Amino acid sequence: MEPIFLGIESSCDDTAAAVVRGDGTILASVVAGQTALHADFGGVVPEIAARAHAEKLDLCVEQALEQAGLGLADLNGIAVTAGPGLIGGVLAGVMLAKGLAAGSGLPLVGVNHLAGHALTPRLTDAVAYPYLMLLVSGGHCQFLWVEGPQCFTRLGGTIDDAPGEAFDKVAKLLGLPQPGGPSVEVAARSGDPRRFGFPRPLLDRPGCDMSFSGLKTAVLRQRDQLVAEQGGLHEQDRSDICAGFQAAVADVLAEKTRRALEQTGAPLLAVAGGVAANQELRAALLRVAETAGARFVAPPLRLCTDNGAMIAWAGIEAFRAGQRDGMDLAARPRWPL
């Protein structure tokens, strides 16, 4: 019989719960975002996030069970994000999961949030081990060589900002709406990527590490120079800056991915994280994968961004590998894979 797990996620600014079966069927998935709560602050405010998670988690779990048409007694386990992330939110999720496990007698499985993202291609596309995963979001940017549910090797990643963070900051610098990724992508469509020569950081260094904060500074300088020369920015300037910035990010990600594929000889490249929604980046990664003879898998966006289904699935995989946690399960703000 396939196990059925409840998955709980509250490590950043999405409160989420889902019910998933071991054959990869998502029986229910509920995500309550907090974008509006943080809109005035230019970023996620940890204290506000934690309070909102504490308020909404019970309801999300209730809704997920209702959607699935199941009660706790029909489940085989409870999986919860135990880190890494904003500690107030992680604690709220872990406390709820412990309470539910203690009350129901169900097994409890603590999941690493990054493992949740990294195992998603197995949930959506039944991908076999091993494979290469590029995780690119607002908070993360790393290459993972995935060989098993608890066997990840980090091949490299950003040494400063994550690409999503850079997209958001560039949008802010240009007066475009948040979240910045989609706004920059739309503006870039009518822009000339060659007008401004933005840098391609760390391409001259071997390995798979990346850097995006210098790129953001280059955008700031270019904006200030245009403002000084013309007294402001025209719409075309904004588009050209966005196109140039996006092309630089695409070049860096593509070249580093090429190296990671070469180093591992991976048969498959998978992407996850909000930035993986970007069409130009996807196209660049697809080209690199094809050239290397690797298959390319990009899960649907709602499963690329934070959600409870990936946590339930990672919980099922860990459960099958024998993992069981007790009431001493710790909430960890930092937890490298």
Binding-site residues sit at: 113, 117, 135-139, 168, 181, 185, 278, 306
Residue from 179, 214, 267, 333 touching ligand KG4 (CB under 6 A): that is 179
Partner in contact with 138, chosen from Zn ion, ligand KG4, none, beta carbon below 5 to 8 Å by kind: ligand KG4
Cis-peptide into 179, omega within 30 deg: yes
> If binding is defined by CB under 6 A, does position 277 make contact with ligand KG4?
yes
Q: Are 121 and 127 in contact (CB under 8 A)?
A: yes
User: Residue 142 or 278: which CB sits closer to ligand KG4?
Assistant: 278
Instruction: Give the Cα separation of 278 and 301 in Å (integer).
Output: 10
> If binding is defined by CB under 6 A, does position 237 make contact with ligand KG4?
no
- Closest residue to Zn ion, based on beta-carbon distance: 306
> If binding is defined by CB under 6 A, does position 167 make contact with ligand KG4?
yes
Residue from 14, 161, 306, 317 touching Zn ion (CB under 5 A): that is 306
Partner in contact with 277, chosen from Zn ion, ligand KG4, none, beta carbon below 5 to 8 Å by kind: ligand KG4
User: Do β-strands 151-157 and 141-148 pair in parallel, antiparallel, or remain unpaired?
Assistant: antiparallel
The least CB distance from residue 101 to ligand KG4, in Å, is 26
Site string for ligand KG4, 282-301 (x = CB under 6 A): --------------------
CA-nearest of 146, 157, 188 to 171 is 188
Q: Interface with Zn ion by CB under 5 A: which range of 27-35, 186-194, 256-264, 303-311?
A: 303-311
Please state the residue numbers annotated as binding site for substrate: 135-139, 168, 181, 185, 278
Question: Taking the chain, what is the end-to-end CA distance rounded to the nearest angstrom?
Answer: 30
Question: What Å distances lie between residue 42 and 36, 49, 215, 258, CA to CA?
Answer: 11, 14, 19, 34
Residue from 275, 288, 289, 310 touching ligand KG4 (CB under 6 A): that is 275
Residue length of the chain: 337
Q: What is the DSSP string of 277-317?
A: G-HHHHHHHHHHHHHTT-EEE---HHHHSS-SHHHHHHHHH
User: Residue 48 or 70: which CB sits closer to ligand KG4?
Assistant: 48
307 Cβ contact list (under 8 Å, min separation 6): 9, 14, 16, 18, 29, 31
Count of chain residues binding ligand KG4 (CB under 6 A): 20
Classify residue 251 by burial, with Cβ atoms within 10 Å: 0-12, 13-18, 19+: middle
> If binding is defined by CB under 6 A, does position 12 make contact with ligand KG4?
yes
Which residue type is seen at 253? L
> If binding is defined by CB under 5 A, does position 317 make contact with Zn ion?
no
Interacting residues toward ligand KG4 by CB under 6 A: 12, 137-139, 164-165, 167-168, 179-182, 185, 273-275, 277-278, 305-306
Interacting residues toward Zn ion by CB under 5 A: 306
